[in-house]
Structure 1
């Protein structure tokens, strides 16, 4: 299976996605959760390469891709494996709860 992550929004709305909600449940705001997800995603891409981490990139608003809007479909869904999504979530959880130990 796969998981979608929206691209970083440049001062705009953060599009909702499942992993974002799961990270917010750890006590982060949507902006902080989205940034943390992308920080971990960037780390994975730097180690494994974008072609091995990001399986697909599709426009969130495909109809805007061809419009003349100044905000044209610049936001995309990044498709990653569920394993990658779990790695991201686990890394964020470990960073937020460094003293929880192995329960």
Structure 2
């Protein structure tokens, strides 16, 4: 997974510890915003990672519902969040059938 560190964007100091949003709150905001923007059903959050500019969150969504459900197509989106929990950018990084365990995707 690529980090946002290499992108040129004005850097902002993290908020004071008393103001910093917890990872769970940022993950929930990323989940909600990616779901709203894609119009897809969110399956869950797979990772939350602090980065210099804020947070990097991976959100799994249901891209295509199929019968049987074991052949549903899922996608993994990477969401860049600032320290206030605002979505800065998102992109799809993988697309794969439900139940794939080998970690590969297209």
TM-score by length of 1: 0.27
The structure in which a higher percent of residues are strand is 2
TM-score by length of 2: 0.26
Higher normalized contact order (CA 8 Å, seq sep 6+, divided by chain length) = 1
